[in-house]
Amino acid sequence: MRTHYCGEVSEGLLDQEVEVCGWVHRRRDHGGVIFIDLRDREGLLQVVFDPDREAAFATADRVRPEWVLKIKGRVRARPEGTINTTLRSGQVEVLGLEVEVLNEAKTPPFQLDEDGVGEDVRLRHRYIDLRRPEMQHNLRKRAQVTGFMHRFLDDQGFVDIETPMLTRATPEGARDFLVPSRLHAGSFYALPQSPQLFKQLLMMSGFDRYYQIVRCFRDEDLRADRQPEFTQLDIETSFMDEAGITGLVEKMVRELMAEVAGIELPDPFPRMTYAEAVERFGIDRPDLRIPMELVSVGDLLADVEFKVFSGPANDPRGRVAALKVPGGNALTRKQIDEYTQFVGRYGAKGLAYIKVNDPSLGAEGLQSPILKFLPESAIAEILQRTGAQAGDLIFFGADKAKVVNDALAALRVQVGHDLNLVADEWRPVWVLDFPMFEYDEADGRFYALHHPFTAPQVDSVEAFESADPEALLSRAYDLVLNGTELGGGSIRIHRPEMQSAVFARLGIDQAEAQEKFGFLLDALDYGAPPHGGIAFGLDRIIMLMTGAGSIRDVMAFPKTQTGACLLTEAPAAVDAAALNDLHIRVNPILKG
């Protein structure tokens, strides 16, 4: 129906006739001459209609935004002073000779170039929202990213293999989405949180290098970078250690960012242990663009009478840490109070601070309500460790180590953005040597920090069983870019006796392990190779690459933060007959 896309019409087509199709982006009547900006996926094209061609002019006069048109016209140069350098077609315009209305449209619920449209309105009318150039750009960028990944991994000898969408529920990780079985009354499938077990089975099947761009499902609380269904690049290899996997993946990410986004990343990526990341930044996904770090000062405050500090300083699971804010002396009491409320969301009971006026004067050059509780020797050492200068401010966190780390890590990022301290650059980092387990005080048990199939950094079952579980490290690794975890993976357990030992340490006895993971344990008995892999959050990569504020802006049909689809009104009730076929009865929701 057309000879060219709108955005492809350029000076090379001067004086030629073209036929284009698209949506009316704008219509302007300039006193006897009508301008229509026609839009398709390649961009905008200005079409001019004059009264000399009565039929075309009359049709152009009645069209409205978002009508679908086919236009035949002649390409000509724009008059001097009207060139639009922001458009690919901005050097030319088309003189409209014929116009056909392919479809009319109701007035849209929002203008495509309107700012501040509520996300609920955009998601409810997603088919209109997706017409916006920003959304077209994001989703085409997504296609370029997945195309690159396919080409890169194919060239590296990886095999693209699909794994099941209907599988078995697992006891670890987030909640599963369950799917009732009609043919097996009272039984349920689960939608996969990841293809973890299947990709390990593929290694045991001898495929050596597997990958898949796959949909995953997790029934968990949502936020800007989470969705109940999301896409990940899943990779697994045999006979390759951590250095080989991270090196291969690093090459892929570096070349991907350069080719698709024109972003140059360092070579090689820096590496950091989990312990160092938490010590310096309070979190295992540090944003290295922000020039602030946490500094432990608990050893300086263990003997002070100020229990707010000395209590955590003497608690084996406690921490007292300082965070120096360059130029933070300018913060008002109101702003400090707001930051105090902010860290309260992470469990912090307060936020102590010291304003540094002149560090050369010792305590006399400082300003803080807590100075009277601190000996001058401790104050001097705190200034020394933090490197505080005149005009800086030092925040303190004192509580259980997790509370301090969570609160100060979030505060560091928030203050960094508020005070424009975030460098305009790309800072990747590999985080290595994760703990094998984390202890949940509420449950009184250990959980796998990653998943229970991650290999420990000990070779024998005897060494594993005799080790302090909190001191055990795993062979796991995460790739972080600008404070966002792009992907995580590990070397897997390939010996059945080690897998059984890990299950036992997690409180999974032999009967439960056989019931839940019998197929994996059986496969391990038949010659499993050493293997490992990694999974990347595709949505997060594209969110960073495009500068989008949420992964919802790089997905075609996302859910809201409550897990609802406003477009289709899912989830929704189903009729009793369908439930009966599935052997399900829904209990009424009690109100009040």
Query: What are the binding residues?
Result: 172, 218-220, 227, 450, 485, 492, 537-540
> What Rg, from alpha-carbon coordinates, does the chain have?
30
User: Could you say which DSSP state residue 591 is in?
Assistant: -
β-strand partners of 492: 454
Contacts with 176 (C-beta within 8 Å, 6 or more apart), sequence order:
169, 170, 190, 191, 193, 217, 219
What is the rounded distance in angstroms from the CA atom of residue 199 to the CA atom of residue 535? Answer: 11
> Beta-strand (E) ranges in 135-228?
159-160, 178-180, 188-190, 209-217
Could you tell me if residue 173 is left (phi over 0), alpha (psi between -120 and 50 degrees) or otherwise beta?
left
Which tokens hold the place of 193?
């949180």
β-strand partners of 39: 23, 44
What is the rounded distance in angstroms from the CA atom of residue 434 to the CA atom of residue 476? Answer: 6
Rounded to the nearest 5 degrees, what angle is found at the Cα of 427, between the Cα atoms of 425 and 428?
A: 150
Judge whether 446 and 452 are in contact, CB under 8 Å.
no
Distances (CA, A) of 551 to 27, 560, 563: 33, 11, 14
Which tokens hold the place of 200?
């390990």
- Count how many Cα atoms sit within 13 Å of the Cα of residue 463 in the half-sphere of its side chain: 8
What is the rounded distance in angstroms from the CA atom of residue 72 to the CA atom of residue 53? Answer: 12
CA max distance for the chain = 93
Annotated binding residues for ATP, as ranges? 218-220, 227, 485, 537-540
User: To which residue do tokens 């479809």 refer?
Assistant: 103
3-state SS of 413-471 is HHHHHHCCCCCCCCCEEEEECCECEEEECCCCEEEECCCCCECECCCCHHHHHHCCCCC
Other beta carbons within 10 Å of 316: 5
User: Position 131: which residue type?
Assistant: R
Which tokens hold the place of 451?
């998943």
What are the phi and psi torsion angles at 398 (to 5°)?
A: -145, 110
- Closest Cα to residue 252, out of 154, 162, 159, 160? 154
> How far does Cα 308 stand from its chain's mean position?
36
β-strand partners of 429: 480
Annotated binding residues for L-aspartate, as ranges? 172, 218, 450, 492
> How far does Cα 112 stand from its chain's mean position?
26
